[in-house]
Structure 1
Amino acid sequence: MSGFSVTGLPPDVRIAIVGAHGAVGRATVRQFRQWGVDRLKLGVRRARPEHDEPWTEGDSVHVVDATDPASLRVFLEDVDCVVNCTGPAGRIGTTVIEAALAQGVHAVDVNGSRAALGRLQPSHAEVRGVLACGMTPGLSAALPMWAAQLAVSAGMEVGGLLLLMGGRDPIGHTAALDIVQAARERRSRASPGPAAADGKDGVVLLPDAAAVESFDSSMETLASYDDEELQDLRRLLPGCRIAAWAVHAGPASRRAMVQAALSDADLRQAAHRVVAASEADCAGRSRFQQLLVDVLVRDQQGHRPASRLLVRATDASALTAAALAVATRAVVTGRTPPGKHLGAEVLSTRQSVEELAGCRGVLDVVFGAHTMGADAAVDEGVL
C-alpha cells in the first residue's frame, strides 16, 4: 500500500469482509463504498444471487467457512485487512482474527472479549488486531470513555457514568443468539447488577425522564445490566460509579429476554422468541437505535447529570458497521499501533468519534451540557 486517498484510506488497500451477506456485512460494504473503496474481497457462507447486494464488478465473492481455519487461510490470501461481520459469537468465536494474525493480515472483528484478547498470538511484529468491535461490545464502552475524557478536560470531577442503550429496532436471529447466550452466562456466574457492583451505599443510578424520553415517550421498558465492558470501565475510572440500562422496544421484548435468560430451553428456540417479540414491538413504527451517556458529577443531593453524549442511528447493524469501518480505517492507516486491541480502545478517540458521526446510517453524534426537563436535548458540540 502507498499514499492515501482523500477519504484517508490507502487507494490500493485490499480489504476482505467475512459475513458479507448478513445485515452487518452489507452495511459495512456500503460504508466502504461511501469512502470510495471500489474493490472488496467478500466472503459469504453460501453463494446467492447478487442483484440485491451492494457489490460492484470490482468485487470478488468467495464462499468461506468462518469456523474453518483452512477455509479462512485460502480466503485471506492477498489481502491487507479482514473485517469479520459474522456471528453468532458463541459459534464463530475468534476463529477469523486468529487465522488473520497467523498470516500477518490485519483484522477487525465484531466478536471477542478481553479474555479472548489475552489468548491471541500475533506472529508478525507489525500486524494489528482489533476485536470486540461493534455497537456492543465496542461503542458501548468507547462512548462513555470518550465522554468522561471530554468532561475531565473541561475541568469536571466525574463522579459517575450512566449508559442507556437500545431503541425501536427488530433484533435479528444472530444477535438474539448472542443476547440469550450472554444473559445465561451472566446468570450462571450470578453476576451482580449495577446497583450492587456500583457503590458502597447501594444507591441505584437511575436515568432521568429526559434521558428516557430522548428514546421515545412510549419506551419505558428498562432493564439494568452489567458486563465485562463495565467492569473494564470501573478499573479505568476508579471511584467513578457506572451503571447501564437497556431500553427495550416494548414489553414483549423485555418479557422474552427475561424468560430466555431464566430458561434452560433450547438456545435457538429462545432466540426465536426474542426475535418474534421484538418484531411485534416494532411493527408499524419508525426504527432507530441509540446510545446515550450521562456524565455525572456529585453534589450535596447526590449524582446529577452535567453533560450528555447522544449517538443515534437508523439501526443496530448500521451502527455496528460504522464501528467496524472506523476501526478498520484506523488499522490500515497505521493510526492504531501494532499489537492486539479492544474495539473500545480504538473507538474512544476524538478522531474515531468524528469519523463515526460521518458514517452512513449514523443520524446524530452530539455532546454538550445537560439540560433539565422533559424536552432535554444536547444542543451544542454537534460533530
Structure 2
Amino acid sequence: MRTVLVTGPGGAGRTTVAAATALAAARSGRRTLLVSADEVPALPAGTEDTERLTSVRVDSAAHFRDELLELQDRASGVLDLLGANRLDGEELTELPGSAQLAVLHTLRRAAEDSRTGDGCEVLVVDLPPLTDALALLALPGQLRRYLRRLLPRERQAARALRPVLAQLAGVPMPAQWLYEAAARKDAELAAVEALIEDAATTVRLVAEPGQAAGGALSSARTALALHGLRVDSVVASRVLPRHSADPWFADLAARQEKCLDHWHQEWAPGTPVRESAHLGREPRTLEDLSLLAGDCAPDDRTPGHAGDPWWTETAEDGVISWCLPLPGATKEDLRLVRRGDELLLTAGPFHRIVRLESALRRCTVSGAALTDGVLRVRFTPDPALWPRTP
C-alpha cells in the first residue's frame, strides 16, 4: 500500500493538497482512501464516488468514548472492588491528546484492511499542522517504549506468584487483563509504527511560499530525517502567476518566485518542489480539486530506504561510527546522551530515543561529529565487554 502523509504549516492548504493528491491517485485507477480530521468541502466524509475514492473523517470524540468504555468494562472487577461509579457514554468529553490517538487508530485499521486485501491501494492522510504532525508520527514508538518500561514482558512469567506476592505486599498485584491489554496495545502501536516506517510511506510537505514557511520547512527537514522519514515532495501552494501588469500583484509574485528558487536549491536534487497554482478562490468543488490534482499526483518512485536510515562504518582501529543523515542540522542544536542501552538524540526542539544495536551496547561513546549533513557517533569497543580474539 502506497501511503502519503500530508502536513505543513497551519493555513498553508494542506487539507486541499491532501484531497487533490487522493483524487489524482484515484483517477489513475487505484482504490484510494483519504483520511482527514477536518472537513473537505469537495469530498463529503463517508461517501464514495465513481473514481475509486473514499473520504473518511476521523471522529476523535467517538473514538475516545469507545476506548474509555471498553477499558471500563475490562477493569470492572477492580472498579467494583473500589466501589467506583461507572461512567456513561453520554457524559464523556474527550481529553487533550485524544485526537492524535484517533488518527493512529484509523491508520491501524487502514493497514489491517490492506493486509487482508479489502483495503485501499493508496492511503492519503491529512495530518495536523507541522509541529503536531511530527509529534504524532513519533508517538507510536514513544508509547511502545513507555509500555515496555512500565509493564515489562518478563514480569508476566511471574503471574503464578501474584497471589503470594499480594499477601506479602498487602496490596493486589496487577491482574492478567492489564498485561493482556498492554500486549494488545503494543501490537496495535507496532502496526502503526510499521506503516509509518514502511518503504512505501512518504511525507508530503505543503507550504505557501514565504520567509516564515521556509524556516518551518528547514526545521521539519531535520526532524523528519531524525525519525527516518522520507519526503517525496514539497508542494508550494497558492502560487501566483509570474507576470502581471499590476505593480502590487507583481511584487507579491516576485517574492514568491525568490522563495521558490531558494526551495529548489535547498531540497534538490532528491526532493522535487511542486507548484500548485492559486485558483483565486478557496477550492469548494470537485472541479476545483481537479484543477490542482495534476500537480499533486503521488509518485511511485522506489524510496531511498526502508525504515531507519542509520548505517555503520568501522575504522581500522576498531572504532565504529553510527551514521545518520541530518540535513539542515547545526552543531549548536545537537545534543547526545548515552543512557544504558539507549541513545538520547536532540536536534533543536526535536528529540528521539534510539535503542542501540547489540554490538554498540558493548561499546562506549567516544565522540560525535556533524560533517556535510551527516551525524557520526563514534563507539569504542569496551575491552571488558567485547569478545576477545585468540
Query: Which structure features the higher share of helix residues?
Result: 2
Q: What band does the TM-score fall into relative to the shorter chain?
A: under 0.3
Greater length-normalized contact order (CA 8 Å, ≥ 6 residues apart):
1
TM-score by length of 1: 0.24
Greater CA radius of gyration, 1 or 2? 2
